A = this chain, B = another copy of it.
């Protein structure tokens, strides 16, 4: 409580105050004092002094000396959608519960940015890194390896480090099947009735497209190439693809698979340009779960990826230090329309809730 605006207390200050040496103070404050055979009384004395002066360790100094920082990084492509923001939320909670400090950064799907950001994290001696949805996981891997940083890929796999990803193939199968079955309620379904929008040439998109096509072939007997419309990940591009389809066909496909919630925002932009009623009968499957997306005015089947399981598995991999780079699949979950799942926020206590 002493000293507002004063410099922060250091072990040297406490050393003078307590009459012990800095090393003793250090040992007491970092918990290694038993190993160092410090008398319990001494430890207590120093601990009390530290508390009284609001001592907190200078983590940069500690990190410099010990070349470990207690930081665990999560590299995201973007924050601004429910899949990644809930992943960040889960990550924070998990890292905190392990007594470490979470650091989340985004790199905007830019391979160069990804490497730079990771370099920066390395400069802070982070202890572990979760690389989520990286455009160039192997590029990041190289940077990490050079620095001896343990890391794991989440969501998009790399070839050089272990990865934990959704079973995109299976998820896509579930989703495609669900929208086709739903469409069949209104009569027979032809291959040209079912489209896929969004995604690009990354592993997840490829697997989802593969699952989509496989189910279409087995349920509908065919899958014309025209039904696959990879638009990239931007809402604007996706909206344009819907608009183009609409212009040439006079309607949207009867049912379609949207590659991610970001692409689904593209659908919103399209819808905003057109009267409400025109699209009351479309059926949508979206690979990603967004609670509001689930309640749109037409049936939206969604896939909820289990980011909690992915992060947890990621930690397990980092601890196991497996040598060969393996890829673990986490099963995603099909979410029927109008479903409000609980999320990471639900574990928070809501103080003063009235």
Q: A residues within 8 Å of B by Cβ? A: 3-6, 8, 54, 56-61, 63-64, 69, 78-82, 84-86, 88-89, 92, 101-106, 108-111, 119-120, 122-125, 135, 142, 145-148, 200-201, 230-237, 262, 264-265, 268-269, 271-272, 276, 290-297, 338-340, 342-346, 348-354
Enumerate 30 A-B pairs (CB-CB under 8 Å) in ascending A order: A3-B146, A5-B145, A56-B123, A57-B123, A59-B124, A60-B61, A60-B69, A60-B124, A78-B89, A79-B79, A79-B89, A80-B89, A101-B120, A103-B105, A109-B350, A200-B352, A200-B354, A201-B352, A230-B354, A235-B340, A235-B342, A235-B345, A262-B345, A264-B292, A265-B292, A268-B291, A268-B292, A271-B340, A295-B296, A296-B296
What residue in chain B is nearest A148 (Cβ atoms)? B5
The 6 closest A-B pairs by CB, nearest first: A232-B353, A292-B292, A297-B297, A59-B123, A85-B85, A268-B340
Q: How far is the CB of A142 from chain B (nearest CB, A)?
A: 8
Chain B residues contacting A353 (CB-CB under 8 Å) are: 200, 231-234, 237
CB-contact partner of A232 in B236, B343, B344, B354, under 8 A: B354
Docked CA distance A78–B145 (Å) = 32
Contact A235 B346 (CB under 8 A): yes
Chain B residues contacting A145 (CB-CB under 8 Å) are: 4-5
CB-contact partner of A146 in B4, B79, B88, B269, under 8 A: B4
Docked CA distance A186–B272 (Å) = 23
Contact A350 B237 (CB under 8 A): yes
CB-contact partner of A349 in B57, B110, B148, B269, under 8 A: B110
Q: How far is the CB of A257 from chain B (nearest CB, A)?
A: 17
What residue in chain B is nearest A338 (Cβ atoms)? B272
Contact B268 A146 (CB under 8 A): no
Q: How far is the CB of A132 from chain B (nearest CB, A)?
A: 13
What residue in chain B is nearest A280 (Cβ atoms)? B297
CB-contact partner of A125 in B60, B78, B79, B232, under 8 A: B60
Given contacts A80-B343, A272-B338, contact A56 B119 (CB under 8 A): yes
Chain B residues contacting A234 (CB-CB under 8 Å) are: 345-346, 348, 350, 353
Contact A345 B78 (CB under 8 A): yes
Docked CA distance A119–B79 (Å) = 24
Chain B residues contacting A264 (CB-CB under 8 Å) are: 292
